[in-house]
């Protein structure tokens, strides 16, 4: 299959799944496996196109992003909330980055993570948690840090960064909308940092001839993610997290049967 077509397909998958609690990395690994697009270039491509999806957050929440960058610590959501949420995953990610990329990027590990992440989503939904926070500006630093601890689970490919942080937000007392929106905003610096680190370490696997492919994936991910963000917030208010957990279980089962 033509690499540009593969890039667009993977970009669409990334845009659809980056902000849903179903694991974009897991879907990209599985799709790459079935499209016979694997190896170091595939891993770097998958990281790069996440930037397209993250840019969709910057565009959609541009006013909120600018307010955070003003470094106003006196009221509402500010840069310290983002830093507290980033800290645990940054530390663990730096320590385990090479091990994760070398050993965990496989369909088998994704199957396990899909199932485990589904269990967390159901637990977060079923636990009778009192809602303490109903907007981003009501989040405390303690809640932000706790969400950051949950985000560490997403270092396991297939677990889902969005799933881990949204579930963590709900278990920390935030309502569904606040948990989802904070998940989106934390993703911006996290993914820029992770992508930058990975590209700096993997630039040798990219050639000039790959630019068209990488950009096709980037822009398709951006456009689809922009639509997905708006749709997901509306969907989450109606169906909550449990249907996404069932989808994860079903996908893990289908892939396991196919591989066997």
CB 36 within 8 A of CB 54: no
Predicted TM-score (pTM) above 0.85: yes
Query: In the predicted model, is pLDDT for residue 42 greater than 70?
Result: yes
Helix (H, G, I), strand (E, B) or coil at 174: strand
Query: In the predicted model, is pLDDT for residue 123 greater than 80?
Result: yes
DSSP string, 74-133: SSSS-HHHHHHHHHHHHHHHHHHHHHHHHHS-SHHHHHHHHHHHHHHHHHHHHS-PPP-B
CB 110 within 8 A of CB 255: yes
- Which residue carries 């600018």 as its tokens? 66
Pick 98 or 187 by higher pLDDT: 187
Q: Return phi, psi of residue 22, to 5°.
A: -125, -5
Q: Per residue in 213-259, pLDDT tens?
A: 889 999 999 999 999 998 998 888 888 899 999 999 999 998 888 87
Q: Per residue in 170-229, pLDDT tens?
A: 999 999 999 999 999 999 998 887 777 777 776 666 666 678 888 999 999 999 999 999
Name, in order, each residue with C-beta under 8 angstroms of 141's C-beta and a sequence gap of 6 or more: 80, 81, 84
Task: Give me the half-sphere count of Cα atoms (radius 13 Å) on the Cβ side of residue 8.
Answer: 4
CB 253 within 8 A of CB 44: no
pLDDT given at position 30: 83
Q: How many residues does the chain have?
A: 260
Average pLDDT, whole number, for the chain?
87
Query: In the predicted model, is pLDDT for residue 36 greater than 90?
Result: no
- Which residue carries 């630019």 as its tokens? 211
Query: In the predicted model, is pLDDT for residue 103 greater than 70?
Result: no
Nearest Cα neighbor of 130 from 141, 143, 118, 121 is 143
- Which residue carries 């820029």 as its tokens? 192
pLDDT given at position 205: 66
Q: How far apart are CA 85 and CA 189, in angstroms?
A: 10
pLDDT given at position 155: 86
């Amino acid at each position: 299959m033509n690499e540009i077509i593969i890039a667009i397909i993977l970009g669409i998958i990334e845009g659809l799944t980056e902000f849903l609690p179903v694991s974009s990395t897991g879907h990209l690994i599985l799709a790459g496996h079935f499209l016979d697009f694997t190896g170091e270039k595939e891993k770097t491509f998958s990281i790069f196109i996440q930037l397209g999806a993250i840019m969709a957050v910057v565009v959609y929440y541009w006013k909120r992003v600018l307010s955070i960058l003003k470094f106003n610590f006196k009221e509402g959501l500010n840069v310290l909330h983002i830093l507290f949420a980033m800290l645990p995953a940054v530390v663990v990610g730096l320590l385990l980055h090479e091990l994760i990329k070398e050993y965990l990027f496989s369909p088998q590990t994704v199957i396990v993570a899909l199932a485990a992440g589904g269990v967390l989503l159901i637990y977060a939904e079923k636990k009778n948690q009192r809602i303490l926070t109903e907007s981003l500006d009501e989040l405390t630093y303690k809640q932000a840090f706790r969400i950051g601890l949950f985000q560490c689970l997403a270092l396991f490919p297939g677990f889902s960064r969005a799933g881990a942080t949204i579930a963590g937000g709900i278990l920390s007392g935030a309502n569904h909308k606040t948990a989802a929106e904070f998940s989106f905003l934390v993703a911006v610096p996290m993914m820029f940092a992770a992508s930058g680190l990975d590209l700096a370490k993997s630039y040798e696997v990219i050639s000039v001839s790959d630019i068209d492919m990488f950009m096709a994936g980037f822009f398709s991910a951006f456009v689809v993610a922009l639509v997905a963000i708006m749709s997901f917030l509306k969907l989450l208010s109606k169906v909550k997290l449990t249907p996404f957990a069932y989808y994860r279980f079903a996908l893990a089962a289908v892939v396991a049967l196919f591989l066997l």
